[in-house]
Amino acid sequence: MMMYASHLECSVCSTTYDLDQVIGTCRCGEPLLTRYRLDAVRRDLSPADFVHRPNTMFRYRELLPLSERSSPVSLGEGMTPLLKADRLAQALGMQAGKLWIKDEGLNPTGSFKARGAALGITRLRELQVKKAILPTAGNAGGAWAAYGSRGGVGIVVIVPQRAPDVNKGEAELAGAETYVVDGLISDAGKIADKLAQENGWFNVSTLKEPFRLEGKKTMGLEIAEQLNWRLPDVVVYPAGGGVGLIAMWKAFQELRELGWVTGDLPRMVAVQATGCAPIVRAWQEGRSESQHWDNAETIASGLCVPKPKGDKLMLQALRESRGTAVAVSDDEIRAAHRTAGRLEGMIICPEGAAAVAGLEKLVQSAWIKPDDEVVVLNTGTGLKYPHLFNLDLKQLR
């Protein structure tokens, strides 16, 4: 029974913690990162070994905090298609064959949040945690509810009144105790913190526990495997809490250390909405930390995070990868949403549409060159956003 994960390490003060303890954040309050004995992974495993593995994200179990004895709580998440988008590439003036969209909308519960919840619940079950709580205004609640029910871990979800009905409904339908509160996601977060403290429930808010990030890391591992252990020049990601961006960057660094990929790592791009762009502002001002974004508002609800807990890690990933951050307006998001449907037949989520709009801006400004190979993340299915459908139908008489 070998676990290749060795310990948890604070992302800021480097204090280390045992993996077998139930712990959320460092005692300094900052996020914890899972560290591995990569030399042992390199010795025991090679990329060819993955070919015959199950077609889910758990195929990468040596690069997750799991042992051979772990039994994953799975609904078939991961190994989502990496689709070539030649018609979109052509419309943007990019070279054919160089643009890919990774379609996370095919995950259980319709978004990549399934990856974080699948690993999170697998670990919580192993650690014998009985109940967990999270605030959410979007896809996280439904994902944690689904995996919680499947794994036998109780889930409490706190949702702001203004969150879409589909997100309240999916959490409730998948068996979570679902509470609606007045106010914003930050208010839901405070209530979740308080209830977690009072009741001894584990708090699985974004980056207040280490496993969601490791689950999302599998997006980066899959991109490498699906490109036959090659990495693209640029990865474009719609960043809210930023977990996916931080996680993919961690994946790429681990793959480089393993020697499974060579050459430059991708330049990471964080796309945000002009109505809530704390990372873009911090990036432009050269800061290593963001400042709270007042009156945040955008149709891309997953990007509406006024002060991400992972801001320092996100900005660090942008710096280290020689990436950038760019903001797009809701009108640009709407236009990209339509473009993806019309050119590629993909009903993408507004966050994915933001990423496509960001790509367009960076191609126009020549930050992305026509022959750069680019992977854009569509983080969820557009079918969960019927409130954004703008039906423009002709009447047949």
Query: What is the rounded CA–CA span in Å between residue 44 and residue 51?
Result: 15
Shortest distance, CB of residue 359 to ligand PLP, whole angstroms? 15
Most distant CA atoms of the chain, gap in Å: 71
Binding window for ligand PLP (CB under 6 A); candidates: 50-58, 72-80, 236-244, 339-347: 236-244
Q: How many CB atoms lie within 10 A of CB 16?
A: 13
Tokens 């619940």, located at residue: 121
Query: What is the rounded CA–CA span in Å between residue 271 and residue 356?
Result: 9
Tokens 């799975």, located at residue: 74
Residue 28 is a binding residue for Zn ion (CB under 5 A): yes
Q: How many residues bind ligand PLP (CB under 6 A)?
A: 17
Task: Look at residue 332 and give the partner it binds from ligand PLP, Zn ion, none, a contact being a CB closer than 5 to 8 Å depending on partner kind.
Answer: none
When binding is defined by CB under 6 A, the residue of 78, 164, 215, 380 that contacts ligand PLP is: 380
Shortest distance, CB of residue 26 to ligand PLP, whole angstroms? 20
Task: Look at residue 380 and give the partner it binds from Zn ion, ligand PLP, none, a contact being a CB closer than 5 to 8 Å depending on partner kind.
Answer: ligand PLP
Q: In what order do the strands lie in the sheet with 154-160?
A: 177-181, 154-160, 131-135, 202-203
Residue 376 is a binding residue for Zn ion (CB under 5 A): no
When binding is defined by CB under 6 A, the residue of 34, 74, 122, 139 that contacts ligand PLP is: 139
Tokens 């526990």, located at residue: 209
Shortest distance, CB of residue 130 to ligand PLP, whole angstroms? 26
Helix (H, G, I), strand (E, B) or coil at 76: coil
Shortest distance, CB of residue 141 to ligand PLP, whole angstroms? 10
Residue 117 is a binding residue for ligand PLP (CB under 6 A): no
Binding window for ligand PLP (CB under 6 A); candidates: 121-129, 237-245, 280-288, 388-396: 237-245
Q: Which is nearer to ligand PLP, 45 or 83 (CB)?
A: 83
Binding window for Zn ion (CB under 5 A); candidates: 4-12, 59-67, 103-111, 164-172: 4-12
When binding is defined by CB under 5 A, the residue of 3, 5, 8, 26 that contacts Zn ion is: 26
Angle between helices 113-126 and 211-226 (to 10 degrees): 130
Residue 30 is a binding residue for Zn ion (CB under 5 A): yes
Residue 243 is a binding residue for ligand PLP (CB under 6 A): yes
- Asked if 177 and 156 touch (Cβ cutoff 8 Å), the reply is yes
Query: What is the rounded CA–CA span in Å between residue 359 and residue 373?
Result: 12
- Residues numbered 15-54 forming contacts with ligand PLP, rule: CB under 6 A: none
Query: What is the rounded CA–CA span in Å between residue 237 and residue 164?
Result: 22
Q: Which is nearer to ligand PLP, 62 or 170 (CB)?
A: 170
Shortest distance, CB of residue 230 to Zn ion, whole angstroms? 35
Residue 113 is a binding residue for ligand PLP (CB under 6 A): yes
Query: What is the rounded CA–CA span in Å between residue 104 and residue 50?
Result: 20
- Residues numbered 312-351 forming contacts with ligand PLP, rule: CB under 6 A: 349, 351
- Half-sphere exposure (CA, 13 Å, Cβ side) for 222? 30
Q: Which is nearer to ligand PLP, 258 or 277 (CB)?
A: 277
Site mask for ligand PLP (CB under 6 A), range 295-314, x = bound: -------x------------
- Residues numbered 153-212 forming contacts with Zn ion, rule: CB under 5 A: none
Q: Give whole-number Cα distances, 265 to 122, 313, 358, 365, in Å.
A: 30, 17, 20, 22
Backbone angles phi, psi at 308, to 5 degrees: -65, 135
- Asked if 242 and 116 touch (Cβ cutoff 8 Å), the reply is no
Q: How many CB atoms lie within 10 A of CB 367?
A: 15
